[in-house]
């Protein structure tokens, strides 16, 4: 598994170096960028693995809010923690609406920042695991035959076997066979797990 990276974006060189030192001393890998534009130019979201972005809200050319919007447009789902001055709070709140997971007002406590980063990394890892599970289930569902899909749709809709059989013009016994095939292929241990899998794959 790729080591999670904390991407620090700040136009203040002293702040960048200070945060990088703090993260390194805390056992967290860090990369620094002098602007949002330089981060977007250098960062390849494909296969990036777990990570988190720590960025100042006010920077030349592109502020933290615009960065959050650009990342969303590029479907880069790394969580963002924003550092803000007192007067920037309305902008930070707007950024939260755009997907920023947390913001810290200056001057902030170093432990608060580390706690926020670790929480964001944990959430990012969980999101990565959910995405991997979603893709696995989708591939399994793609392997089902058209008739198995029809039976699956009926089962997920909560219909009884005899109702599904009537709608598809087949016998209830045949529905049972298709249903057993679906359970076997998906590896679902029961109806509730099958429904959960389908809902996750279609989310």
Whole domain around residue 190: which residue ranges?
143-201
Q: pLDDT by residue (tens digit) across 24-82?
A: 999 998 999 999 988 888 876 544 456 889 998 888 888 888 888 888 887 777 888 88
What tokens does 175 get? 């529905």
42, part of any domain = yes
Q: What is the pTM of this model?
A: 0.60
Helices (H), the chain: 13-25, 36-42, 64-73, 89-97, 110-142, 146-156, 161-168, 172-186, 191-201
Domain count for the chain? 2
CATH number where 158 lies: 1.10.10.10
The ranges of the chain with pLDDT < 70 are: 1-2, 44-50, 86-89, 92, 126-128
What CATH number is attached to the domain comprising 124?
Answer: 3.40.50.2300
Are residue 28 and residue 78 in the same domain, yes or no?
A: yes
Q: How far apart are CA 197 and CA 203, in angstroms?
A: 10
Whether residue 26 is found in the same domain as residue 125? yes
For residue 76, which of 59, 99, 54 has the smallest C-alpha distance?
99
Residue 18 CA to residue 64 CA, distance in Å, equals 19
For residues 34 and 116, membership in a common domain is answered with yes
Task: Based on the fold, state whether residues 114 and 172 are members of the same structural domain.
Answer: no
């Amino acid at each position: 598994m790729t080591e999670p990276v904390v991407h620090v974006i700040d136009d203040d060189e002293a702040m960048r170096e200070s945060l990088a030192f703090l993260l390194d001393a805390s056992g967290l890998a860090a990369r620094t960028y002098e602007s949002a534009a330089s981060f977007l130019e250098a960062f390849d979201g494909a296969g990036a693995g777990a990570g988190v972005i720590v960025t100042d809200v006010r920077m030349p050319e592109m502020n933290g809010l615009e960065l959050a919007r650009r990342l969303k447009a590029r479907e880069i789902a790394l969580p963002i923690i924003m550092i803000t001055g007192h007067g920037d709070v309305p902008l930070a709140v707007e950024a939260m609406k755009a997907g920023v997971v947390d913001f810290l007002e200056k001057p902030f406590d170093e432990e608060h920042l580390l706690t926020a980063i670790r929480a964001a990394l944990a959430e990012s890892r969980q999101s990565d695991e959910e995405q991997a599970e979603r893709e696995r289930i989708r591939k399994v569902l793609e392997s089902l035959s058209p008739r198995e899909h029809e039976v699956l749709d009926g089962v997920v809709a909560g219909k009884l076997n005899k109702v599904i059989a009537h709608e598809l013009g087949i016998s209830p016994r045949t529905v049972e066979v298709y249903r057993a095939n679906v359970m076997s292929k998906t590896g679902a241990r029961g109806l509730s797990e099958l429904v959960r899998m389908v809902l996750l794959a279609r989310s």
